[in-house]
Structure 1
Amino acid sequence: MTEPTTKQLIETARARQDALAQVETLMAQATGTAHDLDNTIQLTVDARGKLLNLWLAPAAANWGPDRLGSLIVEVAQVAMQEATQASYNKVALLLGEDMTYLIEQLSGMPAPARAANDDTGLTVEEFQWRREERLGGRRTQPAAPTDAGDDVYDLDSFDPASLRSDR
């Protein structure tokens, strides 16, 4: 393999500089939305934590001021994690994984998908139960895990959105 010329090195450096200049814009465009389990609070924040939208159901007044305040903060933290991850996802598409990881380290805000205490996700049974619930189907408890020897696959109901990815 031949060594890059000085002209090629300069072009590469300029391309990286242009890409880095776009990082601020990409991160500013990322948003995250979250709600509480009872759907009484929903809010949207940007990747810096700026509140963009707050919706409260009339039933939110029943929580009382202290509980309502702490619940808003909890929901905002979840929305912030979503916004942070969305911003890193956009940056990774532009700069690549290694540069994005470096930005995470420099910012002191690692991507939520890299968190050591991250939830491992739903079981298939939990996912199917929640899917049925979302689609207005019957409300039954998740089925017990099936035996590994069962060759029953319901490919027609597979939802690719259930796959997790940190990028």
Structure 2
Amino acid sequence: MVEQVPIERTTRQLIDDARARQEALARVDAVLAQATGTAHDLDSTIEITVDARGKLIDLWLAPAAVNWGPERLGSLIVEVAQVAMREATQASYNKVALLLGEHMTYLIEQLSGVPAPARAQGDDPGLTVEEFQRRREERLAAGRRRAPAPAPEPDEDYDLDTFDPATLRSDR
């Protein structure tokens, strides 16, 4: 038997929530139109900006780009455009998540078949919070184990108490 759980919200509240979600979904297209990604090659001879749909917005080539030759230049432009597209895709998911929430954005990823680049399989997930804390504790413990540095020997020619600021030269 299925246990029924009473809804603690009024019908008016449920309708208002549904309308808010509908308005948020209507704004997704505008949000996606604003998401862009920019990338450049390692030598900074090519810079490409695309929108979240893959439309080329800007292509900049340095004069030195002619040195690559047509084959290499063409493949390099494609590689840089792919990186810019991944950045634009991630930016669009980030903006949609702010609008619709993380759960709904993940569902959109699943439905579209295009996962957020941050979730790409085989990608370096970065440092976890636990790993960061472990490394921090190791650094702090290592710092506590080191002997304190000896105090510097006092210099007999240097006496801060007898310093007279009036001896400094002024730019009057």
TM-score when normalising by structure 1: 0.71
Residue 38 of structure 2 corresponds to residue 33 of structure 1: yes
Output aligned runs, 1:38-49, within 5 Å: 38-49=43-54
2:69 aligns to what?
Answer: 64
Equivalent residue, structure 1, for 2:96? 91
For 1:150 and 1:65, how far apart are their aligned partners in 2?
54
Q: Counterpart of 1:160?
A: none
Q: How far apart, CA to CA, are the structure 2 residues paired with 1:21 and 1:32?
A: 23
Give the Å deviation of 1:45: 0.3
Structure 1 pair 120/11, CA: closer, same or farther in 2 (3 Å)? Answer: closer
1:5-154 correspondence to structure 2 within 5 Å: 5-121=10-126, 150-151=142-143
Q: Could you tell me how far 1:51 is from its partner in structure 2? A: 0.5
Q: Equivalents in 2 of 1:71, 1:81: separation in Å?
A: 16
Structure 1 residue ranges (4+ consecutive) displaced by more than 6 angstroms after TM superposition: none
Gaps of 5+ in 2: 1-5, 128-137, 145-172
Distance in 1 between residues matched to 2:91 and 2:15, nearest whole Å: 31
Task: State how far apart, in whole Å, the 2-side matches of 1:2 and 1:101 are.
Answer: 26
- 2:70 counterpart letter in structure 1: P
Bigger radius of gyration? 2
Amino acid aligned to 2:20: A
Distance 2:26 2:143 in 1: 52
Alignment RMSD: 2.0
Deviation at residue 120 of structure 1 after TM alignment? 4.3
8, 25, 45: which one pairs with 1:3? 8
CA distance in 1 between counterparts of 2:64 and 2:94 reads: 35
Partners of 1:17 and 1:82 in 2: how far apart? 27
